[in-house]
Each structure stands twice: as structure tokens, then as C-alpha cells.
């Protein structure tokens, strides 16, 4: 049975707290105002994960994306993209101890650039070019499989 990212996140957070189960001090969150600030001149691909803090499917997608990159040891930067309120994002990042960068895209510049109508949504960038975009007509499992195939092709060169 596959472990859901929500369960993984809770287990990782508990493990970070040690035997007593208490979490260490505040998490260092990275809320960025632009993709350049979040990813900088990334040496490799950047996986953008568009999400909402009140969307359980988005939560799973965000953590599964990070897990995919970490599990396979890929040289891919994972960057979240969120368009809601800063306070909600800050609370979410602290609660789930998310330390990877997140672009606060209040004006939806990235949402428009990558033609994102709904979340969850992922785009894989190499430089400024999107080499993968989720197909909203596919189910989430199909999207994940296609992203993994794209990453394999891209990084096996």
C-alpha cells in the first residue's frame, strides 16, 4: 500500500522532533516574490508546483512532487507557486514545515504565463522553457506518470 504524502509529512515532522515528539523551533520558510528569487539561475530543471492551502489534493501533489525528486535523487529544484494570502501561506508552511521556496504570485503572473486554470498543476522548466505541463484532462496518477517519464528522458541525456 502506498503511503500518502500527508502521512509522510506528519511522520517526517514528528521524526524531526526527536524522541519526545516535540518539534524544534520555528521553521525557516522561503516566501519569494518571483521565480527568479525562488530558483535563481538554477543549474538544472525547475519543477513548479501550483497549489492551494485549502486543497487536500494540492497538498498531496506538493509533497509527492518533493518526494519524487528526493527519492530519485534528481537534480531538480522544486518551487511551489501560491496565489492566496501571505498569512495563509505562512501558516501552511510553518504547520507542515515546508522549507523549499514558494512564490507568492498574488498577481497571478506565473499562473497566466503557464496557463494555469486550476490547481494542482505542475510545470517543468529547463531555463525559461516549459518542457512539461500537466494535462488537465488526465487524472492525477496519469499526470505523475507522465512527469516521471519526462524527468527520466530529460535527465538521462
Query: pLDDT above 70 covers what percent of the chain?
Result: 83
Residues near 144 by Cβ (< 8 Å), separated by ≥ 6? 64, 68
Q: Which residues pair with 79 in a beta bridge?
A: 48
Sequential DSSP letters for 38-75 = HH-S-SS-EEEEE--TT-HHHHHHHHHHHHHHHHTT--
> Residue 7's CB: how many other CB atoms inside 10 A?
12
Confidence of residue 1 (pLDDT cuts 50, 70, 90): very low
pTM assigned to the model: 0.83
Distance CA 35, CA 101 (A): 9
* Residue-range domains of the chain with CATH: 28-36+43-155 (3.40.30.10)
Q: How many other β-carbons are positioned within 10 Å of the β-carbon of residue 135? A: 10
Give the model confidence (pLDDT) of 10-69 as tens digits.
Answer: 444 444 444 434 566 778 899 999 999 999 876 789 999 999 999 999 999 999 999 999
Amino acid at each position: 500500500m502506498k503511503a500518502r504524502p500527508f502521512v509522510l509529512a506528519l511522520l517526517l515532522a514528528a521524526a524531526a522532533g526527536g524522541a519526545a515528539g516535540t518539534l524544534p523551533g520555528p521553521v525557516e520558510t522561503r516566501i519569494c516574490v518571483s521565480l527568479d528569487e525562488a530558483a535563481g539561475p538554477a543549474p538544472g530543471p525547475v519543477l513548479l508546483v501550483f497549489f492551494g492551502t485549502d486543497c487536500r489534493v494540492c497538498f498531496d501533489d506538493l509533497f509527492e512532487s518533493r518526494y519524487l525528486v528526493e527519492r530519485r535523487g534528481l537534480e531538480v529544484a522544486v518551487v511551489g507557486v501560491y496565489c492566496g494570502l501571505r498569512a495563509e501561506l505562512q501558516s501552511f508552511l510553518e504547520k507542515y514545515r515546508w522549507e523549499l521556496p514558494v512564490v507568492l504570485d498574488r498577481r497571478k503572473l506565473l499562473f497566466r504565463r503557464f496557463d494555469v486554470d486550476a490547481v494542482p498543476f505542475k510545470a517543468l522548466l529547463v531555463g525559461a522553457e516549459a518542457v512539461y505541463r500537466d494535462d488537465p484532462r488526465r487524472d492525477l496518477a496519469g499526470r505523475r506518470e507522465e512527469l516521471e517519464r519526462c524527468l527520466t528522458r530529460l535527465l538521462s541525456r
